[in-house]
Structure 1
Amino acid sequence: MGDSPGSPAAFPEGATMQCFSFIRTMMIFFNTIIFLCGAALLAVGIWVSVDGPSFLKVFGPLSSSATQFVNVGYFLIAAGAVLFALGFLGCYGAHAENKCALMTFFLVLLIIFIAEIAAAVVALVYTTLAEQFLTLLIVPTIKKEYGSQKDFTQVWNSTMEGLKCCGFNNYTDFQGSPYFTKNNVFPKYCCSDDASNTNCTEAEAKKKAVKGCFSQLLHGIRTNAFAVGGVAAGIGALELAAMIVSMYLYCHMK
């Protein structure tokens, strides 16, 4: 004699189906948001890369330095493309119950998760090595561009003013730069906390011993370690949850 739909034997299967349906709906909902965010970032990135002057008019002069220094447009395109692809794979995989799309979604997230862990380990273990590498990369650029390249100079001035620092390591980074060659003084930020001293000689800079921006940045990160760690842990937890959900849907699809 078969079980009726409302019998105890039939309930677990119904509950499982309801749970599967709920998780599937949530997967579609959240990945739709990710998909739209990725599309928005992609659109802004393309706009910045193709029509930079219009972007600068909207966001003001500060964006000019940032765009030149970090290539914001390309970064936004890369980040937007990743989010766009992830959102599409997760949404399509859950909606169409496509195992291939869900497995791809899981693998891409897994690669990102492993890369983030590797980056965190490298940042913790090889901080000194990273400093040496960045010194070899950034200091020669300062000596070549500071004082001659307007946007580069403006970015460094804003950085030094904001972090109350001088150069990457210290004032010696500016020796031989176009600014030092022309004025025979160092940037004012290397001699005074309030950046009011415009006659920053080598003797004055040596006396003040203003710290480099790299050490100031590290100090700021360590001071806010709990906040930074909390954000990183939150992102990692969301990625793990997304991987678990995608694998659950994958395993329960026919």
Structure 2
Amino acid sequence: MTVKMGRFERVKYLMVTLNVLVCLSGFALLTVAFLLLFHPTEIRYVVSLNTVIFTGAMYAVVLSVVLFILGIMGSIAAYRENRTLLMLFLMLILLIFVVELCAGVGAFLFKFQLTKPYFEDDLVNYYNGDNVTSPYSANSNSIMISFECCGVSGPKDFLRTLEFIILNPHHEVPEACCKRNKATPDGVIVNLKECLSGNVDFIHNQGCFELIIDKLEVYLYVVGIMNICILVIELCVMITAIWLYQRA
């Protein structure tokens, strides 16, 4: 009897420990999501431009809060050896486990939205120019100015951006693509006329995709790895919760 009680106590405290890990993983996930949404550089604008990334970041925020609550609930259920609370916790953690699996499958299915052609299509379809109130255009301009780049692949992207051509018939590129004088506080454009006319000496010729995607993928890979780790922890929690429920 003493051996059985000792084993029960060990499993109980193991479940409490695992639930503490659930809480910590939720906090870590929230930190990464906030970094994506409020990044000090213009990466936050990239997040707002892409539906999949923005949805994923919001999903991470909600999931982190749910994990924190479940972690506390699971710890209380294990410590008090309450069968009703253990069953409720088990059902909720199983539901979250299934949701995370579905989210992972969805992210895999929609990964095409993180490719260069998809960003190019968005630019062609939604970009208007410089002096507009369009959130997409405003965010795109902020990215191009901050990273000193032009378009997704380069300045030639704007030659097939119909709405930009209609609104700016005499401009080869938007003002956001123009080289600026870093020595001035406002970053004054070096030569606006030459830039807008397409003079390559006054335009940032590097596309933005190559400059941003590597920085962005680091955060996305971190979120993916964290999601896998959370799933493993949740699986261990469910196993211990079932064991405790049967013996509580």
- Is the TM-score greater than 0.5? yes
In 1, the alpha carbon distance for the partners of 2:56 and 2:216 equals: 22
In 2, the alpha carbon distance for the partners of 1:201 and 1:141 equals: 20
| Cα offset, 1:122, TM superposition | 5.5
Pairing 1:61-210 to 2, within 5 Å after superposition:
79-96=60-77, 97-116=85-104, 119-120=107-108, 123=111, 126=112, 130-142=115-127, 144=128, 146-149=130-133, 152-175=136-159, 176-177=163-164, 181=168, 184-190=171-177, 192=179, 196-198=190-192, 199-205=194-200, 210=205
> Could you say if the C-alpha distance between residues 20 and 193 of structure 1 is closer, same or farther in structure 2, counting changes exceeding 3 Å?
farther
After superposition, the CA RMSD in angstroms is 4.9
- Where does residue 238 of structure 1 map in the other structure? 230
In 2, the alpha carbon distance for the partners of 1:67 and 1:149 equals: 19
In 2, the alpha carbon distance for the partners of 1:238 and 1:68 equals: 26
When structure 1 is superposed on structure 2, of 172-181 and 196-205 the one drifting more is: 172-181
Report if aligned partners of 1:99, 1:253 keep a CA contact under 8 Å in 2. Answer: yes
| Cα offset, 1:165, TM superposition | 1.7
Report if aligned partners of 1:32, 1:88 keep a CA contact under 8 Å in 2. Answer: yes
Task: Give the gaps of 5 or more residues in structure 2.
Answer: 35-41, 78-84, 182-188
| Cα offset, 1:159, TM superposition | 0.7
> Could you say if the C-alpha distance between residues 22 and 93 of structure 1 is closer, same or farther in structure 2, counting changes exceeding 3 Å?
closer
| Cα offset, 1:160, TM superposition | 1.0
> Could you say if the C-alpha distance between residues 16 and 146 of structure 1 is closer, same or farther in structure 2, counting changes exceeding 3 Å?
farther
Report if aligned partners of 2:129, 2:137 keep a CA contact under 8 Å in 1. Answer: yes
What letter matches 2:141 in structure 1? N
In 2, the alpha carbon distance for the partners of 1:107 and 1:249 equals: 14
> Could you say if the C-alpha distance between residues 69 and 131 of structure 1 is closer, same or farther in structure 2, counting changes exceeding 3 Å?
closer
Q: Which SS does the other structure have where 1:98 is aligned?
A: helix
Q: Which SS does the other structure have where 1:166 is aligned?
A: coil
Q: Deviations over 1:218-239 (max 9, x none)?
A: 35457x6xx8645632442233
What letter matches 1:91 in structure 2? I
> Could you say if the C-alpha distance between residues 75 and 122 of structure 1 is closer, same or farther in structure 2, counting changes exceeding 3 Å?
closer
Query: Higher relative contact order by CA 8 Å / sep ≥ 6: 1 or 2?
Result: 2
In 1, the alpha carbon distance for the partners of 2:103 and 2:117 equals: 22
| Cα offset, 1:211, TM superposition | 3.1
- Where does residue 15 of structure 2 map in the other structure? 24
> Could you say if the C-alpha distance between residues 38 and 98 of structure 1 is closer, same or farther in structure 2, counting changes exceeding 3 Å?
farther
| Cα offset, 1:141, TM superposition | 0.9
Task: Tell me the matched-pair count.
Answer: 219
What letter matches 1:85 in structure 2? V
In 2, the alpha carbon distance for the partners of 1:38 and 1:232 equals: 10
- The reply to whether residue 217 of structure 1 matches residue 219 of structure 2 is no
- Where does residue 55 of structure 1 map in the other structure? none
Q: Which SS does the other structure have where 2:150 is aligned?
A: coil
TM-score by length of 2: 0.60
- Where does residue 248 of structure 1 map in the other structure? 240
What letter matches 1:187 in structure 2? P
Task: Give the gaps of 5 or more residues in structure 1.
Answer: 45-61
Q: Deviations over 1:176-204 (max 9, x none)?
A: 42796176352345354876442314542
What letter matches 2:164 in structure 1? S
